[in-house]
Structure 1
Amino acid sequence: MCGIVGAVSNRNIVPILIEGLKRLEYRGYDSCGVAVHQDAELKRARSTSRVAELDAQVAEDHIHSGTGIAHTRWATHGVPAVHNAHPHFSKGPGVDPQGPGRIALVHNGIIENHDELRAELKARGYQFDSQTDTEVIAHLVDQLYNGDLLEAVQQALLRLRGAYAIAVFCRDEPHRVIGARHGSPLVLGVGETENFVASDAMALAGVTDQIVYLEEGDVVDLQMGKVWISNRDAQGRYQAVQREVRTVHAHTGAAELGPYRHYMQKEIFEQPVAIANTLDSVEGISPELFGDGAYRIFKDVDSVLILACGTSYYAGLTAKYWLESMAKIPTSVEVASEYRYRDSVPNPRTLVVTITQSGETADTLAALKHARSLGMEHTLTVCNVSTSAMVRECRLAYITRAGAEIGVASTKAFTTQLVGLFLLTLALAQTRGHLNDEQEAEHLKALRHLPVAVQAVLALEPQIIAWSEEFARKENALFLGRGLHYPIALEGALKLKEISYIHAEAYPAGELKHGPLALVTSAMPVVTVAPNDALLEKLKSNIQEVRARGGELFVFADSDTKIESEAGVHVIRMPEHYGALSAILHTVPLQLLAYHTACARGTDVDKPRNLAKSVTVE
């Protein structure tokens, strides 16, 4: 999603701003821009191309300064176009329509009352050049400015409804940048004689490792060698606050492609290591894997509520099968963006589990807060970022160690989430008396062998490449799975549509006769996940239903399923059946199928159109 970088220094910070944007490119964006305080004026460059083009434009225009802000935008209000790109400048009454005004601002999030503020500011003579909600904030700060930028920003924030992270500077106050956050992440980077603000610590890698994770409602005043943080008290007055400075070694090497064509391919092949790292500290099953006090909480809960979005939601659906069959605990899984807007029946003895790769997913954070407002205080997150807002908001956490994931389509984050959720299942089963020592030993042995098993699946890549040539010519596809593997079919369909733009849907195989079978023709490839489990014979019947209608099947089958290749039935044999963890193994070939199909179609694999990596707006 959108990215922010800002800086105040006595050196030229434009290269730092540009490099910061490059480190945030993985989040997805439609446009980018940079603005600086130069020669007592505001100066900027904006582009609807990549950051590399912006870098060339900055060099051509000789943009340099010790004070500036930069941004990558994922379009919400207004089409992707230069006039909608950030940074935005204020243009008050009497300002030259072609001039820059005095306020420069970048913004992540959505301002819900922007229409009424726009009407008010237009009546005061402000000129609008964009369709964005962000430009409203720049004009509002300008209208309230009376010589003190911090005071103007604080007053403006009182008028805003919605979510935001902003960075703003003023023509009349060089060497000063104000940042603020409410519902969108923002971090402060502290240097000796310079200070930085960014939406992600990764943007500041190599610049400073002294990071402050700003809390909800914080406003930060950056000057050279000085930083002030304030927050509103219960009476709405801003008071100085202290925040912990942490030493954070942000990922830098993760941005190197090495021998791979795309980050997505690299991350698919990193899964054995990512899973091994996620399991590195697991010597036995214990509630304390999830934090101090976990045993007491696990003993108290009588149900589980999983909140997540997108790929993480499918991880939650998979975990429901494990939790109910192994831990014998009732489990519901909710799309986070829907849960907070419906009437539900709260249970204070529910364990609320959030799943998120970034830990900053706006809908999941809001759903968590909604659950807590209903009296459900037992909270746990499975997350890949230990310093994220989600980890700070939850009582318990399991940190996956997938490392930085650059490709928009999640791969190693998903499989490590499944590992974390399987460990949670075992810990709850143990606490509830449904896991004996022998079973624990068997599951731990299977988990430790999992990286090797995934490596064996990756060796199937040449066969999957051959399938992808066929898929690349299609515009629609069906994915089928049963039981535990139905959510994996959903994830496979999502991956294919995300990066190849082929319309794909997934169904429980038993639902074929209830509608989807009408779509099956020779032009509709049907991908089937076929593990050797209790539902295999039922699945074989579903396969015959497809064949009888002339459908062409592509089956990922365990070696002992006795499903053979024939006319219209293509089979790739998985190296081994993996019991309860089979869902993780069957995810990998579906990732490879989507990846190589997208390559064959020539799409932008790592940055698919219209999508963002970290969804930090509702």
Structure 2
Amino acid sequence: MLDEDGTLGVRKRAGKLDRLLEDLEASPLPNGSTGIGHTRWATHGGPTDRNAHPHLGDDGKLALIHNGIIENFAELKDDLLADGYTFESDTDTEVAARLLGREYGITHDLEQAFRNTVSRLEGAFTLLAVHRDQPGLVVGARRNSPLVIGLGDGENFLGSDVAAFVEFTRRAVAIGQDQMVAIRPDSVTVTDFHGAPVETHEFEIAWDASASEKGGWSSFMAKEISEGPDAVANTLRGRIVDGVVVLPDLDAIGEVDLAEISRIVIVACGTAAYSGILGKYAIEKWARVPVEVELAHEFRYRDPVLDATTLVISISQSGETMDTLLAVRYAREAGARVLSICNTQGATIPRESEAVVYTHAGPEVAVASTKAFVAQVAALYLFGLHLARIRARCRPTRSSPTRRSCWPCQRSSPPSWSRARRSASSRSGWPTRGPCSSSAATWASRSRSRAR
């Protein structure tokens, strides 16, 4: 945390957040208006206090947090050791902090030093940093790892996901691959790693902070199971008009090209791959196009046969699943058409696809996917009906399925979900009422005009 006088306060603890909160209550940090924080998954070094984030550089004047893995950290660490630097942790993150400190000693400009630093890093990373000589400034960069800006009134935010700041603003901007951002209370600047300005696009977050909290439920999984019918309904909303599926989301590909698709390959990981299997049954039955379902982490290694008549459909709740993203890039380079089904606005996979059908399941916090899964199935069913209608219209010998005959989800799901919810509500700890409000975040940074 940085206050307006440039005092940098640092606090970090291994274990649950409650431990850190207790420590902060006993000994508060400076009442600052600029801060960064991160809940770390221990990839390099064990889950200890000394390995926790943030890490410091420039003799403790700067703090840096990191999400991801720096693959060339050993080489960079050897370079820093040869230059006389010492290390207090076992992490790749501290290497980036020390490197940034060295660059700052040369440039005396945090943005330029940060740009010089990230240009030397390899791997998947999102980095954020502050320096006590430049209070009111947070710099960030991303490569193969998400970063989103939250646009506030006299304050701005950075987070790995919009859930980090949706409590404060619903206006957001996604940062692209190999891009850097500098936020101040009254300004946001986005450039590439070479310093050239880049165009950004603002979007509005479609849900509020209460959607990412348990709100009285015993677990996020219980809450999200109960939200399944709403997730399906929200995914269908506005996409069925007079009994006909309408998907303007696919205009970028075009109906003529869709009609000529000879083969579909669905790529996904985990639960999303299971939704793809259900989608395969529906699409083949209704549109009569052969469909394969591939695990995204194997797809690009087997040298698949792809061409302009192949449609690759990627499925990812977060839109940041690395293996799925790499499969999307592989498919586009091979000349295939690419459609994505995603639940997260501003994510990388939708931006790198030709077209995207967004599900509207809201944030999914539980590890076991429930409402996002049924929303993905709903989106695949919509696409199957849409493709069947196009192929029937372009090829008059074919018959088009009707919504009534092949949309069982809309008719049968709500009653079965209602029974499940009534049953669940009768158990101890499962409330019958919906959620209330608060906020949740993985990690976030904020630069504000004043402390709240």
TM-score normalised to the size of structure 2? 0.85
How much has 1:171 moved relative to structure 2? 2.5
- Structure 1, unpaired ranges of 5+: 1-34, 96-100, 466-594, 597-611
User: 352, 362, 373: which one pairs with 1:403?
Assistant: 362
Query: How far apart, in 1, do the equivalents of 2:28 and 2:425 lie?
Result: 49
Q: CA deviation at 1:462?
A: 9.5
Give the aligned partner of residue 69 of structure 1. Answer: 36
Matches within 5 A, 1:160-199: 160-199=121-160
Amino acid at match of 2:182: D
Q: Is the 8 A contact 1:167 1:180 kept in 2?
A: yes
The alignment status of 1:308 with 2:268, answered yes or no, reads yes
SS at match of 1:230: strand
Counterpart Cα distance in 1 of 2:170 and 2:3: 25
Q: Is 1:278 matched with 2:235?
A: yes
Amino acid at match of 1:407: A
Letter in 2 for 1:59: E
* Residues 201-240 of structure 1, C-alpha deviations (whole Å, 9 max, x = no match): 22112323332211222211222323322114xxxx3212
Question: Could you tell me which of 228, 253, 270 is aligned with 2:189?
Answer: 228
Q: Distance in 1 between matches of 2:304 and 2:87?
A: 42
CA separation of 1:260 and 1:221: change in aligned 2, threshold 3 A: closer
Contact 2:2–2:135 (CA under 8 A) maintained in structure 1: no
Aligned to 1:387: 346
Q: Distance in 2 between matches of 1:400 and 1:210?
A: 19
Structure 1 counterpart of 2:446: none
Give 1:168 deviation, angstroms.
0.5
Match of 2:325 among 358, 365, 371: 365
- 2:78 matched to which residue of 1? 119
The alpha-carbon deviation at position 330 of structure 1 amounts to: 1.9
Distance (whole Å) between structure 1 residues aligned to residue 134 and residue 409 of structure 2? 61
Match 2:172 to one of 208, 211, 214: 211
Partner of 1:253: 210
Q: How does 1:170-569 map to 2 (within 5 A)?
A: 170-232=131-193, 237-248=194-205, 250-281=207-238, 282-283=240-241, 284-286=243-245, 288=247, 290-292=249-251, 293-376=253-336, 378-433=337-392, 436=399, 439-444=402-407, 447-458=410-421
Q: CA separation in 1, counterparts of 2:425 and 2:61?
A: 58
Map 1:124-143 → 2, pairs under 5 A: 124-143=83-102
Structure 1 residue ranges, 4+ long, deviating more than 6 angstroms after superposition: none
Partner of 1:42: 8
Q: Is the 8 A contact 1:205 1:249 kept in 2?
A: no
Match of 2:68 among 87, 92, 109: 109
Deviation of 1:117 (Å): 0.8
Segment of structure 1 superposing worse, 299-308 or 254-263? 254-263
**Structure 1 residue 371 displacement after superposition:** 1.4
Separation in structure 2 between the aligned mates of residue 200 and residue 251 of structure 1, nearest angstrom: 13
Mark the CA change 1:193 to 1:459 in structure 2 (over 3 Å): closer, same or farther: closer
Q: How does 1:5-20 map to 2 (within 5 A)?
A: none
- 2: CA distance between counterparts of 1:227 and 1:417? 34
The counterpart of 1:156, out of the listed 112, 117, 120, is 117
Cα distance in structure 2, aligned partners of 1:398 and 1:71? 31
CA contact (8 A) 2:266 2:315 kept: yes
Give 1:247 shift. 3.7
- Consecutive unaligned residues in structure 2, runs of 5 or more: 431-440, 444-452
CA 242–440 in structure 1, closer or farther in 2 if over 3 Å, else same: closer
The one-character-per-residue Cα deviations of 1:406-460 (angstroms, maximum 9, x if unpaired) are 2121111111111111222222223333974564332246524422233235556
- State the AA in 1 paired with 2:419: A
Q: How far does the alpha carbon of each residue in 1:572-603 deviate from its partner, in whole angstroms, 9 at most, with x for none? A: xxxxxxxxxxxxxxxxxxxxxxx99xxxxxxx
RMSD over aligned CA atoms reads 2.8
Q: Which amino acid aligns with 1:357?
A: Q
The aligned amino acid for 2:142 is R
C-alpha deviation, 1:268, in angstroms: 1.0
Which one scores higher on RCO, CA 8 angstroms, separation ≥ 6? 2
Contact 1:106 1:166 survives alignment (8 Å): yes
Contact 1:36-1:69 at 8 Å conserved across structures: no
Q: Which moved more, 1:306-315 or 1:266-275?
A: 266-275
Change (3 A) 1:397 1:247: closer
* Equivalent AA in structure 2 for residue 42 of structure 1: L
Q: Percent identity?
A: 37
Q: Tell me how far 1:158 sits from its aligned partner.
A: 1.5
| Residues 288 and 294 in structure 1, CA contact (< 8 A), matched pair in contact too | no
Give the Cα separation in 1 of the matches to 2:288 and 2:74.
50
Q: Secondary structure at the match of 1:44?
A: coil
Deviation at 1:302, TM superposition (A): 0.9
Q: State yes or no: 1:82 paired with 2:45.
A: no
Other structure's SS at 2:222 match:
helix
- Secondary structure of 2:37's match? strand
